[in-house]
Amino acid sequence: MKKYKLKQDAIAINKKVWMGIDAHKETLHITIVDYEEVLFQTTVPHGRSHVEALIKRLPHCEIVAVYESGPTGYRLLHWLKELGCRAFITPVSKVPESKGGKRIKTDRRDSQELAEFARADLLDEVFDLGEEHYFQRELTRTRQQLVDKRSKTCNQIKSKLLYHGVEVPKDLKQNWSNKYLDWLASGPSGDAHLDLALELLVEIHRELTAKIKRLTNEIEELAKTEKFSDDVEIITSTPQIGVLTAMIFLLELGDISRFERAEEFSSFLGLIPGEWSSGERTRKGSRVRWGNKRVRSALVEAAWRVKGKDPKLNKIYERIKYRRGSGRAIVAVARRLALALRAMLREREKYAYPGTKPEHENAQKR
């Protein structure tokens, strides 16, 4: 392979090339290939100027650039697009297995295989929602992170009470009300050290609650904007689904019309069963291990509530629960709910309660 001096010689002129990038926080490991061979490999600092310098060494070339989804996010994608590349991100879970298996793995090899897989059209694409949308999505994601931290704080408090045998008064329920939190902060154990620990944990709980409320208010205001208001109204017409669940759905998925088939949508959410086939034998198991877990979790949580209001969904739940258990039954209900929401948004219709028209029982086929 011919060696080039960085920023001097052209790597290729007036041809189609594929650029595989193994992206890290500080560096980018890059391989460029054409239809026949590897043209160039290099490692550069993770910065726009270095990417731009490399692109300039491909004058009049049609460049297809790809890197794996990961902690570096979408900034590199936007740089590449602004520099004229046909760039995309591919999900890690969908990248074909390495030629050398798990025993041979280097950054340079990874970038080369990405370029070659892109050339062979073997890579799926992560849909680019746009920079503004990614910023807005941080509201729901950060809120969930704070909710998780608050749950961890609650567990720490309960663990200390149990470990040290501190009994909660019968007239108080562990519902994390202000009354209960006041009792925790009042020195319930009689030991100064333990009471201080509980008091500080209560402060953390209250601080997190205030931050969660602030983010919730911001999300609700965003839901009223022109970009989201109509879609939120359609989704929240579903019984027991509120603005927060609707915004998680919209901020994580973006334009729902990009999912042309119901199976494609279910797969994206990870709400399809896995399948193992051998010869004439086919076995279906638990759901696949990919998909948007944030939307999936929100849908499963909503499914528990919605099935209590919709006899048709409840009937599906009971039928599958009898054969496969409650876990798989509620996932099946979540899938039906997801397909109904997709149909509602595509057709601009509100939720159809049993006995009303139109019904979304055929949403799975659309």
- pLDDT, tens only, 195-223: 999 999 999 999 999 999 999 999 999 99
Point out the least confidently predicted range of 31-35, 258-262, 336-340.
Answer: 258-262
- pLDDT, tens only, 331-347: 999 999 999 999 999 99
8 A C-beta contact, residue 235 and residue 246: yes
- pLDDT, tens only, 37-46: 999 999 999 9
Tell me, what's the pLDDT at 288?
Answer: 45
Tell me, what's the pLDDT at 266?
Answer: 87
The pLDDT > 90 percentage for the chain reads 70
Residue type, 121: D
Q: Is 186 exposed, middle or buried (0-12, 13-18, 19+ CB in 10 A)?
A: exposed
Q: How many CB atoms lie within 10 A of CB 330?
A: 19
Q: SS3 for 142?
A: helix
SS3 content of the chain, % helix, strand, coil (to 5): 50, 15, 35
